[in-house]
Amino acid sequence: MQLMGHSALVTGGASGLGSQVCREFARQGARVTVIDVNGALAEAVARDIGGVAACCDVTQSAEIEAAIAIGRKAHGPARILVNCAGIGGAKRLVGKNGPMPLEDFTRIINVNLVGTFNVMRLAASDMLSADPLDDGERGVMINTTSVAAYDGQVGQAAYAASKGGIAALTLPMARDLAQFGVRVVAIAPGLFLTPLLAELPAEVQESLATSIPFPKRLGNPAEFASLAAHIVTNLSLNGEVIRLDGALRLPPR
C-alpha cells in the first residue's frame, strides 16, 4: 500500500514521534487525522499538514469512536493506524515511602497497553469496512513499543510491562487480522530526541548518546517516521517488532 491518498489515524500525533509521523505521512500524500489528548496541539499540527484533528483519551472508547468518525467523515475509512500515544513514569517496586502505589502501575498500563488495544479494536472494525486493494490488503496497524520491553531498567516495571505487552500483542493480532488483509507491526525505539529528552541538560543528552553503539547520537524522530512509512509500503512486513535503536541495549540503571 502506498500512502498517497489513503486515510491515516495517528494517536499521540500532536508531539514527539507521533507529530513527525503525521508530517511525513502528509508529505507522502496521506490524509491524516491527528489524534491527541492535547486538542490545541493536535489542531496546530493538523493545520500545518492539511489534516484534521481529534481530541481523544485513548482509554475512553467513546472518545476513540468519535475521533475515528471525524477521520472517516473527512477522509473516508482509515486504512492506516499508527499508535504513538503513551506515557512514562519511573518508580521502584518498594521505595522510601513503601510499596509502589498500585494506581501508579495501573495508570501506565491503562494508557500504554489497554489504550493501544482499545484504539486497535475500534480502528480495525472501521478498517474492515473498506474494500480490499488489488493485492488483497485492507490496512496496516503500527504500534509503538520500546526497547524497555526487553531491557527494562530499575524503576521501569510499569513502563516495561506496558511496552512488553504491546510487543506481545503484535503476532497474535497479525494472525487474528490476516484473514481480512490487515497487517500489524510494532516499532521498538531506543533513545530518541523527543520533547521529553530535549528538556534534559545538554551534558545529560550527550551522556545518553554515547551509550548508543552507532550512530552515537539520539535518534531523530524523522527516522522513526521514515520506518513507519516504509512499513506501510512493504506488504511482507507483518507480525514483527522492529528495534530502532542503533544497537543499544539498556543497562540496569
- Which of 25, 159, 192, 224 is catalytic? The answer is 159
Least confident residue range of 114-118, 180-184, 185-189, 198-202: 198-202
Q: How many domains does the chain have?
A: 1
**Is residue 249 situated within a structural domain?**
no
Please state the rounded mean pLDDT for residues 79-106.
92
pLDDT at 251: 79
Is residue 195 predicted with pLDDT exceeding 90?
no
pTM of the model: 0.94
Instruction: Output the nine-digit C-alpha cell for 135.
Output: 493485492
CA–CA separation, 70 and 46 (whole Å): 13
Is residue 164 predicted with pLDDT exceeding 70?
yes
**Is residue 250 situated within a structural domain?**
no
**Is residue 131 situated within a structural domain?**
yes
**Is residue 22 situated within a structural domain?**
yes
pLDDT digits (tens, 9 = 90+) for 196-209: 777 667 877 788 88
pLDDT at 199: 65
Residue whose cell numbers read 531523530: 220
pLDDT digits (tens, 9 = 90+) for 17-70: 999 999 999 999 999 999 999 999 999 999 999 999 999 999 999 999 999 999
pLDDT band (50, 70, 90) for residue 109: very high
Give the residues across from 244 on adjacent strands: 189
- Of the candidates 153, 148, 146, the residue with the CA atom closest to the CA atom of residue 251: 153
**Is residue 248 situated within a structural domain?**
no
- Of the candidates 66, 15, 60, the residue with the CA atom closest to the CA atom of residue 41: 15
pLDDT at 250: 79
Amino acid in the structure at residue 20: Q
Handedness of CA 39, 44, 45, 47 (dihedral sign): positive
**Is residue 201 situated within a structural domain?**
yes
**Is residue 146 situated within a structural domain?**
yes
Under 8 Å between Cβ of 18 and 51:
no
- Of the candidates 195, 112, 107, the residue with the CA atom closest to the CA atom of residue 148: 112
Q: What is the pairing mode between strands 94-95 and 98-99?
A: antiparallel
- Of the candidates 40, 249, 42, 29, the residue with the CA atom closest to the CA atom of residue 151: 249
Residues 6+ apart with CB under 8 A from 93: 99, 100, 157
- CATH number, domain of 48, equals 3.40.50.720
**Is residue 1 situated within a structural domain?**
no
Q: Is 150 a catalytic residue?
A: no
pLDDT at 69: 97
pLDDT digits (tens, 9 = 90+) for 116-148: 999 999 999 999 989 999 999 999 999 999 999
Range of the domain at 62: 7-242
